[in-house]
Amino acid sequence: MSCFLLVACQSQNKKTTFIITSEQIKHLSEQDIEAIGTQVCVEADKRSVIANENSRLNKKLQMLAQTLPKKINNIELTYKVYLNTDPNAWSTVNGCIRINSGLIKLLNDNELQAVLAHEQAHIALKHAIKSFRLAPYVEITNKDVVILVKKEVAQKYEFEADYYALQLLMSKNINPIGLVTMLKKIPIHSTTNTTKSHPSKIKRIARILDRLGNK
């Protein structure tokens, strides 16, 4: 199985779509799916305006990242700031974590640490790999990888990531309340599909507070 490699071979401007069927997905190894993640990240970096290494925004992100683990499951994490007003963050299975400048401007340091911990959780818990395995098919274009995930599954992953982040923050002596205040600040209607699958903020906040109360 090597159809994922096609993503790398496309010409830049032509929109091309590849479908990986559920039958083909069965034959993909974890490494194959990681390779797709790598490609998604490379393509997103090419299409985005990345904040300069010495910029205030990038320095802030790298400084906050230093307070959390640098590797997960032996995967080195890489962080970049995209100059984009949409307050969003995402990660791919190969350790790529990207934060929009709009989010950095919206949140305080504690809340940004919560965002990073939440993204680390998705990588640690291999949510992208699990989503791939469960998907009826995966659509790869030169702009996006579309994985159909049932709403309940997507919600479960968000709760799991919040809980993992909560424990991670506490293990680093970082106040986990940032997970709650961050969610309160993030607008519900974001333009990106990563946030569409996120369960209602109210439910997530309630669950986090419940966990905190039970400590």
Check residue 199 and report its DSSP letter. P
Nearest approach, Cβ of residue 17 and Zn ion (Å): 25
Q: Which is nearer to Zn ion, 142 or 204 (CB)?
A: 204
Q: Which is nearer to Zn ion, 59 or 207 (CB)?
A: 207
As a dihedral over the C-alpha atoms of residue 199, residue 202, residue 203, residue 205, rounded to 10 degrees, the angle is 110
Q: Which is nearer to Zn ion, 129 or 161 (CB)?
A: 161
Nearest approach, Cβ of residue 79 and Zn ion (Å): 16
Q: How far apart are CA 173 and CA 191, in angstroms?
A: 33
Place of tokens 């702009």: 143
Contact code string over 140-179 relative to Zn ion, x by CB under 5 A? ---------------------x------------------
Strand, helix or coil at 71? strand
Nearest approach, Cβ of residue 118 and Zn ion (Å): 6
Q: How many CB atoms lie within 10 A of CB 47?
A: 10
Q: Which is nearer to Zn ion, 25 or 116 (CB)?
A: 116
Nearest approach, Cβ of residue 18 and Zn ion (Å): 25
**Residues in binding contact with Zn ion, number by CB under 5 A:** 1
Q: Which is nearer to Zn ion, 3 or 125 (CB)?
A: 125
Q: How far apart are CA 37 and CA 29, in angstroms?
A: 13
Residue 99, C-beta contacts closer than 8 angstroms, at least 6 positions apart: 61, 79, 80, 81, 82, 88, 89, 112, 115, 116
Contact assessment for residue 81 and residue 57, using Cβ atoms and an 8 Å cutoff: yes
Nearest approach, Cβ of residue 158 and Zn ion (Å): 5
Q: How far apart are CA 120 and CA 127, in angstroms?
A: 11
Contact assessment for residue 140 and residue 4, using Cβ atoms and an 8 Å cutoff: yes
Nearest approach, Cβ of residue 194 and Zn ion (Å): 7
Contact assessment for residue 169 and residue 147, using Cβ atoms and an 8 Å cutoff: no
Q: Which is nearer to Zn ion, 7 or 161 (CB)?
A: 161
The residue ranges that bind Zn ion (CB under 5 A) are 161
